[in-house]
Amino acid sequence: MNRCLPLLILTQIVFSIAASSTTEAAETQPLTIKEINQIWQQRRERLQVMRVELSLEIATSKLLLYPEEEEPVNPPSTYSPLTKADMERLKKELVINHARYSILLDSPKIRYRQWGRFPSDRMKETVSFDNTCFSNGLTVTRLMQSQGTPSIAIFKKTETSDVFSALSQLPLRWALLAGDHDLGETLEGFTARSKTEPILDLDCTVLERTDSEGTACLWVAPKSHDCTVLKYEYHNADKLLVSSHIQYKIDKDWGQVPTTCDLKSFYGNENLLRNSYKYFFDVLHAKASIPAEEFQVKFPHGARVWDSRKRDADGKVIPYTVK
């Protein structure tokens, strides 16, 4: 019996090593699209209703604030066209601004407000902006109260390719609504690479999708981390145009929730920053109780309205003013 004991222990060790090796091998294998979608579905069920507050730091290449339209017919005395040297200098200089978002989500319903200050063309002044967007999944209403008379645009969802508009940065939508067909982004057209790649000591599945304009790449965390998207890139002709990194924290009720989203875009012919967006998730509360009236639109008195659903005999939109 004593002679059998070492053999039994050795056998248990061998089986333990084999089981461990099998588990590690499984964790380093790329996930399938089906597996990722299943985990995303479970995550969306936990995060179905959300209140989100974001603060945003925006760095913009100054050249983007100098649109080079044709010289005005009657140019002001202060007008002077940019020289090539001016353009090269402005391309490398950055201007920093800040904004905030307040978002309610209950897909397909959404309401978000974006406000802050941003330089006008040629940096003549810094102007305030305050825009709100509502959607019930069928129609979209945008309320702009930046300067002067408030304006409202209403249209069917099918008339716009992007309900998010000001939230059009893909990584933000991957962070909150991955797999959502109404407001988020799906994996349609993506395929998985044959090998995983490490990010933050996690073996990530790398997904790719190529279209006529370039190639999008996603780095998806393992199931243990809710298959969250940690990294996003977009390339054209081997040149990096967009890069983003998303960081998360673990919440005992909601699982992995985003904390920051860092997005950068570059000039295609140079490794120079066009603009960057640094999102901070100041508040994220899931399973919130959101009254239906908070998703409804309240038109301010005097606002000018363009409702694309209402047209004259020639098909032109009939604008009106809120009384």
- Residues 267-296: tens digit of each pLDDT: 987 889 999 999 999 999 987 678 888 888
CATH number at residue 54: 2.50.20
- Residue 228, domain member (yes or no): no
- Residue 178, domain member (yes or no): yes
State the residue range of the domain holding 135.
32-66+81-187+267-321
- Residue 174, domain member (yes or no): yes
- Residue 112, domain member (yes or no): yes
CB neighbours (10 Å) of residue 200? Answer: 12
* Whole-Å CA distances, 175 to 6, 12, 54, 106, 254: 52, 43, 13, 15, 13
pLDDT surpassing 80 at residue 85: yes
- Residues 93-108: tens digit of each pLDDT: 999 999 999 999 998 8
pLDDT surpassing 80 at residue 182: yes
- Residue 5, domain member (yes or no): no
- Residue 199, domain member (yes or no): no
> ∠ CA 217-220-226 to the nearest 5 degrees?
155
What's the pTM value of the predicted model, to 2 decimals? 0.82
Rounded Cα–Cα distance for residues 316 and 83 (Å): 42
- Residue 76, domain member (yes or no): no
- DSSP label of 48: S
pLDDT number for residue 160: 54
Q: Is 256 exposed, middle or buried (0-12, 13-18, 19+ CB in 10 A)?
A: buried
pLDDT number for residue 186: 92
- Residues 26-69: tens digit of each pLDDT: 557 999 999 999 999 999 999 889 999 999 999 999 999 887 64
Residue type, 272: L
**How many structural domains are present in the chain?**
1
- Residue 245, domain member (yes or no): no
